[in-house]
Amino acid sequence: MPSKKPDSPKQSQLAGTDTPDRANTNAKIQSLESVRSDATGQALRTNQGVRIADNQNTLKAGDRGPSLLEDFIMREKITHFDHERIPERIVHARGTGAHGYFQSYGNHAELTKAGFLQDPEKVTPVFVRFSTVQGPRGSADTVRDVRGFAVKFYTDEGNFDLVGNNMPVFFIQDAIKFPDFVHAVKPEPHNEIPTGASAHDTFWDFVSLVPESAHMVMWAMSDRAIPRSLRMMEGFGVHTFRLINAQGVASFVKFHWKPRQGVHSLLWDEAQKLAGKDPDFQRRDLWEAIETGDYPEWELGVQIVPEADEHKFDFDLLDPTKIIPEELVPVTPLGKMVLNRNPDNFFAEVEQVAFCPGHIVPGIDFTNDPLLQGRLFSYTDTQLSRLGGPNFHQIPVNRPVAPNHNNQRDALHQHVVHRGRASYEPNSIDGGWPKETPPAAQDGGFESYQERIDANKIRQRSESFGDHFSQARLFFQSMSPTEQQHIIKAYSFELGKVERETIRAREVNEILANIDLKLAAAVAANLGLPAPSAGTVQVKGSQLAQSPALSQMNHPGSVGIKGRKIAVLVADGVDAASADKLVKALEAHSARPMLLGPTSAPVKTADGKQLPVDASMEGMPSIMFDGVVVPGGKASIDALAASGLAKHFLLEGYKHLKAMVLTKELLGSLGLKEDKGLLLGDEQKTVDAFVKAVEGHRVWEREAAAEAVPA
């Protein structure tokens, strides 16, 4: 059966060399990874290079005697092992990464002098790390949480790190509150519960006391916090940055990543089940997509605001709890990013990669957003304890492709043998090298944007940061009715886990009531609290009543069902021709069909042949798929209809609003009704309707009927 299985890394690496883009990117990245190590054909040696004769037995006094301290081979091995772990990230500890490239769509010289945005022929290598925020390194992928979306561009002019999230705003306005926020969301200090979740007292205590978090909490309670795949998330730089062109003209910009795969989410029930059935669901999905050649792509775009328009909005551009609605300032596409290579080694690359919002290149600059300003300090600082000193830029994944000569010497883990006697500047002994490069239109040294500042030194928040509810309201009111229901359920679920009623009531009365009274009333009802009749503050409202760009329903993507996983359920007696027809039709759309049997043993076809399966229905439950098809064959259908496992698989798929192709008999025995995405037969028109339904991600129209299904 031609069901497509992930290639082995070796095969895919070979397969991947076929495009010029990829060859070019690989060549650049390999130059970064000159220290790649491959032990094939090599003798086992100690770290000092001594060949090892016996790696099975410690040196002992006699074969039943005590071990000897002199065994330098055993001691070296155990010592190294004892120190294999490094501190995990304070936040965003759980993550996964991939290599790829960025290519500009054209010459954006009018906007910025950054070289990687000037030439559509230039291929800039990138490394991306996606992450969750709350949980530790081993936590589950699918928890309700913000996803980190950090991109390192290895540009010819130095590394540019765009360290963003899959949500365009943040919980707090000032970096000084970050430790408080993180302490509140992390597992509680007395019992280290919960892992990977914000559904607990300290989180809701903090956010209900800090109204500036209202907008971001709304995003976190929306479907954005449970993405279907890392490939199906938008990314945002969050802060307002500056781009500066060769003439020194600056524009304010917000960075956006738009996935070609569309913006799609799991259902909450799926997310929770996946956390147990496959805690690696998202890293596996990304890994397999890249291995099978379904390279995920994002478009990088910016919202551009001329300096003169800084104060034209009803919010402050420096406030990281605000978006610029795309209906007010559309996103201008600048280029595309493709992820086309999995890491060789998780620790060396994904764990040791060190991002910092302060890594920028000429043509890009910061703004005075007080959250961004604090981040500029934190990231380098945290690497000192995580990566053990200030030379972490020498770790292969962090090395720029641009040369980096300077007078910074020595320190822990120094890998460079610096030559020359002058480690100071100016010097005459070494001919004055390395020398400064004066700023210039192009290829000049970095020069900070000359912003005029005339102010008192104060600890005070600008009044223009004072409105915390208008955009939270805009977000809620821009959602489809389905998305609104999901938000209501998420607040109800999370607050339902909060033990203290004062905290629940404060969130409902002092936060939700200021956002939307219907939302507050619905959540209050689910918690058994009285519905508030009014908010506690005057909310000025937003320039727009709705922003359609905020609803995921408006981001279906442009790659059809490419890379979508489809379960093909078979049992003994399956009609091989019907199965083959369905699989081929799905493959024609570049979907990834997988044959599932009652066990992982091959099934017998109606004509007596053996049909190997990819997995069992138990090993790969319906929550791991985007759709289900059942080929014909009377005995196979009878067996599936009689199997609790198969029935559960199908009912669960139905409940999770998946597109399905069944036979008439199976439909009857499950007690389901045909709908827009529940189709019968294996004819081309059925396949076409199925493909359309998978493209729509879920059969939303089925939601009410699905409520009644017990799976």
Would you name the residues annotated as active-site residues? 92, 165
- Spatial distance between the Cα atoms of 546 and 478, rounded to a whole number of angstroms: 5
Residue 464 in 3-state DSSP? helix
Tell me whether the omega of the peptide bond preceding residue 194 falls within 30 degrees of 0, making it cis. yes
Q: Which stretch binds ligand HDD (CB under 6 A): 9-17, 192-200, 353-361, 486-494?
A: 353-361
- Spatial distance between the Cα atoms of 329 and 609, rounded to a whole number of angstroms: 61
Q: How many residues would you count in the chain?
A: 711
Among 26, 132, 165, 272, binds ligand HDD (CB under 6 A): 165
22 binds ligand HDD (CB under 6 A): no
Cβ atoms 570, 603 nearer than 8 A: yes
> The tokens of 294 are what?
């379904």
- Spatial distance between the Cα atoms of 395 and 400, rounded to a whole number of angstroms: 10
CB of 381 to ligand HDD, least distance (A): 7
Instruction: Please report, as residue ranges, which positions from 532 to 561 form the binding site for ligand HDD (by CB under 6 A).
Output: none
Among 160, 178, 257, 649, binds ligand HDD (CB under 6 A): 178
CB of 92 to ligand HDD, least distance (A): 3
Among 92, 283, 504, 697, binds ligand HDD (CB under 6 A): 92
163 binds ligand HDD (CB under 6 A): yes
346 binds ligand HDD (CB under 6 A): no
Cβ atoms 130, 230 nearer than 8 A: yes
359 binds ligand HDD (CB under 6 A): no
Tell whether residue 592 is among the known ligand binding residues: no
Tell whether residue 375 is among the known ligand binding residues: yes
Using CB positions, name the residue nearest to ligand HDD: 148
> The tokens of 619 are what?
């090993």
CB of 364 to ligand HDD, least distance (A): 16
CB of 355 to ligand HDD, least distance (A): 4
Residues in contact with ligand HDD, counted by CB under 6 A, come to a total of: 26
- Name the pairing type of β-strands 592-597 and 123-132: unpaired
- Alpha helix (H) residue ranges in 358-480: 370-386, 470-478
Q: Which is nearer to ligand HDD, 255 or 690 (CB)?
A: 255
> Tell me, what DSSP letter sits at residue 232?
G
Tell me whether the omega of the peptide bond preceding residue 612 falls within 30 degrees of 0, making it cis. no
Contacts of 352 (CB under 8 A, 6+ apart): 387, 392, 395, 397, 398
> The tokens of 570 are what?
């078979």
CB of 186 to ligand HDD, least distance (A): 12
Tell me whether the omega of the peptide bond preceding residue 2 falls within 30 degrees of 0, making it cis. no
Q: Which is nearer to ligand HDD, 367 or 622 (CB)?
A: 367
158 binds ligand HDD (CB under 6 A): no
- In 3D, which of 347, 335, 180, 205 has the Cα closest to residue 260? 335
Q: Which stretch binds ligand HDD (CB under 6 A): 46-54, 373-381, 577-585, 660-668?
A: 373-381
CB of 323 to ligand HDD, least distance (A): 12
CB atoms within 10 A of CB 439: 12
- Spatial distance between the Cα atoms of 354 and 379, rounded to a whole number of angstroms: 8
Cβ atoms 682, 650 nearer than 8 A: no
Among 29, 98, 150, 337, binds ligand HDD (CB under 6 A): 150
Tell whether residue 449 is among the known ligand binding residues: no
For residue 275, report the phi and psi dihedrals to the nearest 5 degrees: -60, -30
Among 32, 91, 263, 570, binds ligand HDD (CB under 6 A): 91
Among 59, 73, 90, 705, binds ligand HDD (CB under 6 A): 90
b (16+ CB within 10 A) / e for 375-386: beebbeebbeeb
CB of 495 to ligand HDD, least distance (A): 24
- Spatial distance between the Cα atoms of 689 and 676, rounded to a whole number of angstroms: 8
Place of tokens 């069944």: 662
Lay out the site mask for ligand HDD across 201-240 (x = CB under 6 A, - = otherwise): -------------------------------------x--
370 binds ligand HDD (CB under 6 A): no
User: Is the Cα dihedral 173, 178, 180, 181 positive or negative?
Assistant: positive
Lay out the site mask for ligand HDD across 390-419 (x = CB under 6 A, - = otherwise): ------------------------------
Cβ atoms 179, 334 nearer than 8 A: no
**Concatenated DSSP letters of 30-68:** HHHTTT----TTPPPB-TT-PBPS-SS---BSSTTS-B-
Lay out the site mask for ligand HDD across 268-287 (x = CB under 6 A, - = otherwise): --------------------
- In 3D, which of 410, 394, 696, 658 has the Cα closest to residue 555? 696
Q: Which stretch binds ligand HDD (CB under 6 A): 117-125, 256-264, 351-359, 563-571?
A: 351-359
170 binds ligand HDD (CB under 6 A): yes
Instruction: Please report, as residue ranges, which positions from 238 to 257 form the binding site for ligand HDD (by CB under 6 A).
Output: 238
Contacts of 10 (CB under 8 A, 6+ apart): none
CB of 368 to ligand HDD, least distance (A): 14
CB of 558 to ligand HDD, least distance (A): 26
Q: Which is nearer to ligand HDD, 392 or 690 (CB)?
A: 392
Q: Which is nearer to ligand HDD, 95 or 325 (CB)?
A: 95
b (16+ CB within 10 A) / e for 195-221: ebbbbbebbbbbbbebbbbbbbbbbbb
- Spatial distance between the Cα atoms of 483 and 138, rounded to a whole number of angstroms: 30
Distance of CA 111 to the CA centre of its chain: 28
Q: Which stretch binds ligand HDD (CB under 6 A): 209-217, 349-357, 412-420, 469-477?
A: 349-357
CB of 606 to ligand HDD, least distance (A): 51
Tell whether residue 452 is among the known ligand binding residues: no
Q: Which stretch binds ligand HDD (CB under 6 A): 88-96, 215-223, 279-287, 617-625?
A: 88-96
322 binds ligand HDD (CB under 6 A): no
Between vectors from CA 132 to CA 126 and to CA 134, what angle results, nearest 5°?
140
371 binds ligand HDD (CB under 6 A): yes
Among 379, 446, 449, 493, binds ligand HDD (CB under 6 A): 379
131 binds ligand HDD (CB under 6 A): yes
Provide the annotated binding site.
Answer: 89, 129, 178, 375, 379, 386
Residues that bind ligand HDD (CB under 6 A): 89-92, 95, 129, 131, 148, 150, 163-165, 170, 175, 178, 238, 320, 353-355, 371, 374-375, 378-379, 382
Give the annotated binding-site residues for heme.
89, 129, 178, 375, 379, 386
